[in-house]
Structure 1
Amino acid sequence: MTRGIRGATTVAVNAADVIINNTKNLIEEMIKKNNVLPEDVSHVFISVTKDITATFPAKGLRELSGWTYVPVMCMTEIDVPNSLELCIRVMMVVNTELEQSNIHHVFQNEAIHLRPDLAKWNKEDK
């Protein structure tokens, strides 16, 4: 079965090293909580808010061992007034036997406000 794993984080500043590190940390937690192997990943979409321009967040994923051949695409999130700033969102599409209700979506930093219901559920699961 193909399932989506959602993740999101924020950065304090639009700086390449911060963007790469926060993205890498987010994806590492998504991998750990869902027992994801790179060969089970169909593709990964990463979107950023318009204020993130210093680098491609996919560089954080590329630092992970075994993730060289996973297709990744970065894009800009739609610019909704009063939405969360400096935000990186990830949609990882994986082949898994997990039921949809057992997928662990990961929200870090200020991104916990995007889906507090899922962020709370996963925080209790740590």
Structure 2
Amino acid sequence: MIRGMRGAITIEKDEPQIIWDETVKLVQAIVAENNVQPDDIASIIISTTPDITSAFPARSVRMLEGWEYVPVMCMHEMNVADALPLCVRVMIHVETTLSQRDITHVYLNDAVKLRPDLITKNV
């Protein structure tokens, strides 16, 4: 079964190295929490709020050893008033036997505000 594993992280400022480092931190936390390997991943969609423009976060995922064949795409989120700024969101589509209830979604930094109902433990 293909399931979605979600996560989000906020960054301190729109700088390429910060974007790449925080995106990797988030993706690695999601896969670690759910015991996922790159070969289990069908695809990854990464979105950013419109205030992130200095780098493609997908680049950092593609640069991970063993991840070069994982399809990754970036896009911007809708520009909604009062949305959480400087936020990177990730949706990883994974082949898994986990039920929806057993998937651990990961929210880091100020992104914990997005889905406090899914925060069950600190990553």
TM-score of Structure 1 vs Structure 2, range by shorter chain: over 0.9
1:63 paired residue number: 63
Residue 29 in structure 1 maps to residue 29 in structure 2: yes
Residue 72 in structure 1 maps to residue 76 in structure 2: no
1:122 paired residue number: 121
Q: Would the aligned equivalents of 2:10 and 2:110 in 1 still touch at CA under 8 Å?
A: yes
Q: Distance in 1 between matches of 2:18 and 2:7?
A: 17
- Per residue, is there more helix in 1 or in 2? 1
Q: CA deviation at 1:61?
A: 0.9
Normalising by structure 1, report the TM-score: 0.94
AA at the equivalent of 1:23: T
Q: Would the aligned equivalents of 1:105 and 1:122 in 2 still touch at CA under 8 Å?
A: no
Q: Which structure 1 residue ranges, 5 or more long, are not aligned?
A: none
Q: Distance in 1 between matches of 2:20 and 2:69?
A: 18
1:91 paired residue number: 91
1:53 paired residue number: 53
Q: Distance in 1 between matches of 2:117 and 2:63?
A: 30
Normalising by structure 2, report the TM-score: 0.97
RMSD over equivalenced CA pairs, Å = 0.9
Q: Which structure 2 residue ranges, 5 or more long, are not aligned?
A: none
Equivalent position SS for 2:44: strand
AA at the equivalent of 1:110: D
AA at the equivalent of 1:122: K
Q: CA deviation at 1:10?
A: 0.5
Q: Distance in 2 between matches of 1:51 and 1:43?
A: 24
Residue-pair matches, total: 123
Q: Distance in 1 between matches of 2:117 and 2:60?
A: 27
Q: CA deviation at 1:122?
A: 3.3
